[in-house]
Amino acid sequence: MAEFAWEARARTGEVRKGVMDAESEAAVQNRLRGLQLNPTKITPKRKGLDLKNVTLGSGVSSQDLVKFTRQFATMIDAGLPLVQCLDILANQEPNPRFQVALRDIKNSVEQGATFSDSLRRHPKIFDELFVNLVQAGEVGGILDTIMNRLAGYIEKRAKLARQVRGAMAYPIAVIIIMIVVIVVLMTFVIPAFEGMFAEFGAKDALPGLTKAVIATSRAFVSALPFTIVGSIGLVFGSIQLYKNPKGKRMVHKLMLKLPIFGPVMQKIAVARFTRTLGTLLGSGVPILDALDIVARTAGNVIIEEGLVYARARISEGKNMAEPLEEIKVFPGMVVQMVAVGEQTGALDTMLNKIADFYEEEVDVAVSALTSLLEPLLMVVVGAVVGVVLISMYLPIFSLAGNIKGE
């Protein structure tokens, strides 16, 4: 089997393009003619590195995915055939990468593959959760309902991610500005003042604070090459540590134990776990399969290990609440609410309520964290700049007084 890129003209005169797996060009021509398309160009796709197609991530945003799932659900609910829905959505999709993916999915469905199997051809766009929910919708005949539920899930997941990014953006920006200011002061400003003091012959009569700041500047400038090399080595070492399974586990465990950020990370993990599991169970995915998916998409090794353990205990006949309590990752309130959901037979509803609660908690915690960090960072920046200004201007005032006295 090989991949062939093809162009064909429909009966309406519209030019269509796509990619097809086939044994030969003749097989591609036969398939296209069977779809009432007149092939105009068929070329084998070359394997290897195509620099034009090298991108970071999928190139498809959460908004693109939400729009697709909403529109697809509406079309399916209106009774349109699956292939026609994909064709319409592909033709009107402004994102070229998403458009290519949708056309490939449509071609795969036309060749006899299921919708979920066709989605699996693009794992960077449609993750395992998305594909498994679509598969459950196909089996249960409720694809439109599943797609609407998926759209809501993606929107909430994107909102949670925006909250975290928004909380970290301001502190990171202030820290970067602070580092730049310190480097400029230590490298250029303070040495310039030191030269000026030497010209006036006041170098030996400088105040103690000024001498300390000048000494710090000299040490900083002399150590700057080593600092740069050390910083690069630290970044590289951190990346290598994170690639190692033991190192990654250590980092993820530390993230949950940090004094200020730890509780926020735990709330984010709870909101993500309960929302994902609630969506899967509400869509008819068996609990063991759902836990397997949630564990792989947890985003934290410690939580993943805990969920794998919980899944193993549930497969032995235990309820969910008991192993969740044993792993000591989730708060007691979450375990109690899960137990109530199991007893009442409405676990998916209870999980979604927990997710709603913790998403609000994340919002509050993120706002509080931002409110705490903003003044703290501004005080640090102001203190550094203030100390440097005072230390540099004290000798100037003394020199001015001496000149006036003379």
- What does the pLDDT read at residue 399? 66
24 and 70 belong to one structural domain: no
Q: Beginning with the edge strand found earlier in the chain, give each strand of the sheet holding 37-44 in spatial order.
A: 15-22, 2-10, 37-44
The reply to whether 39 and 121 lie within a common domain is no
Look at the chain and report how many structural domains it folds into: 3
- Across the chain, mean pLDDT equals 82
Last residue within a domain, chosen from 156, 182, 203 = 203
Do 133 and 177 fall within a single domain?
A: yes
Collect contacts of 162-167 with beta carbons under 8 A, ≥24 apart.
163/362, 163/363, 163/366, 164/268, 164/362, 164/366, 166/366, 166/370, 167/264, 167/366, 167/367, 167/369, 167/370
Phi, psi (degrees; rounded to nearest 5) at 362: -65, -40
What is the predicted pLDDT for the residue at 1?
Answer: 54
- Predicted local distance difference test score (pLDDT) of residue 47: 47
Answer yes or no: do 17 and 125 share one domain: no
Residue 139 belongs to domain with CATH number: 1.20.81.30
Q: Return the minimum-mean-pLDDT range out of 11-20, 190-199, 307-316, 360-369.
A: 11-20
Residues 192 and 153 in one domain: yes
Residue 40 sits in the same domain as residue 74: no
pLDDT at 76: 87
Instruction: Please report which confidence band the pLDDT of residue 400 belongs to, taking 50, 70 and 90 as the band edges.
Output: low
| 212 in any annotated domain | no
Does residue 117 register a pLDDT over 80? yes
- Structure confidence at residue 298 as a pLDDT band (50, 70, 90): confident
- Report how far residue 181's alpha carbon sits from residue 183's, in angstroms, rounded to the nearest whole number: 6
| 188-200: average pLDDT | 83
Identify whether residues 36 and 137 lie together within a single domain.
no
- Are residues 194 and 68 located together in one domain of the fold? yes
pLDDT tens for each residue of 80-103: 888 899 999 988 888 888 989 899
Q: Identify the helix (H) or strand (E) that includes residue 401.
A: helix 347-405
- Each residue's pLDDT tens digit, 122-174: 888 888 888 888 888 887 778 888 888 888 888 888 887 777 777 777 778 88
Domain boundaries, position 21: 2-44
Are 122 and 184 contained in the same domain?
Answer: yes
Q: Can you give the pLDDT at residue 242?
A: 85
Same structural domain, 193 and 307: no
Using one digit for the tens of pLDDT, what is the confidence trace for 314-343?
988 888 888 888 888 888 888 899 999 988
Do residues 377 and 385 make contact, with C-beta atoms less than 8 angstroms apart?
A: no
pLDDT at position 403 over 80: no
